[in-house]
């Protein structure tokens, strides 16, 4: 298994541009999450999904959108990028097993908005 994969690894956007961060997992996990990580601020949950077709907001959803049309994919869309969205973005997933709460992380996407 490749686990959780994210593309691209790095991206520079100009203010006002849009982009989609891709996240795919091949472990048949039901639950998926998007976080952003800023220095000294830990992880902030942007959006999460409990299964295909179901998404919900986390702590910091403004400026982002998500969709979950398949179990495997959970793309994060940035519309009208702003400098405040400069961050490292991590996607994670959790198995459907009710006894498992461990999150499996992708390698991250480093985004700079200038």
Taking CB under 8 A as the rule, which mask of x and - marks residues 63-102 in contact with other proteins?
A: ---------------------------x-x-x----x-xx
Helix boundaries (H) for 1-114 = none
Q: What is the DSSP letter of 73?
A: B
In this chain, which stretch among 13-21, 67-75, 76-84, 104-112 interacts with other proteins, using CB under 8 A? 104-112
Q: Is 1 in the site for other proteins (CB under 8 A)?
A: no
Q: Is 24 in the site for other proteins (CB under 8 A)?
A: no
Q: Strands, E, within the chain: which ranges?
A: 4-7, 10-13, 19-25, 31-37, 43-51, 54-57, 64-66, 76-78, 87-94, 104-105, 109-113
Non-local CB neighbours of 67 within 8 Å, separated by 6+ positions? 55, 74, 75, 77
* Cβ(108)–Cβ(3) below 8 Å: no
CB of 96 to other proteins, least distance (A): 10
Q: Which of 106, 111, 112, 113 binds other proteins (CB under 8 A)?
A: 106
Binding-site ranges for other proteins (CB under 8 A): 4, 31, 33, 40-43, 45, 48, 50, 58, 90, 92, 94, 99, 101-108
């Amino acid at each position: 298994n490749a686990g959780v994969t994210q593309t691209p690894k790095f991206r520079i956007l100009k203010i006002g541009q849009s982009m989609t961060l891709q996240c795919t997992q091949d472990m048949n996990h039901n639950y998926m999450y998007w976080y952003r990580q800023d220095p000294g601020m830990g992880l902030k949950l942007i959006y999460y999904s409990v299964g295909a077709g179901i998404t919900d907001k986390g702590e910091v959803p403004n400026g982002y959108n998500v969709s979950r049309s398949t179990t495997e994919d959970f793309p994060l869309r940035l519309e009208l990028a702003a400098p405040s969205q400069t961050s490292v973005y991590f996607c994670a997933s959790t198995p459907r097993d009710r006894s498992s709460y461990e999150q499996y992380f992708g390698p991250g996407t480093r985004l700079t908005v200038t």
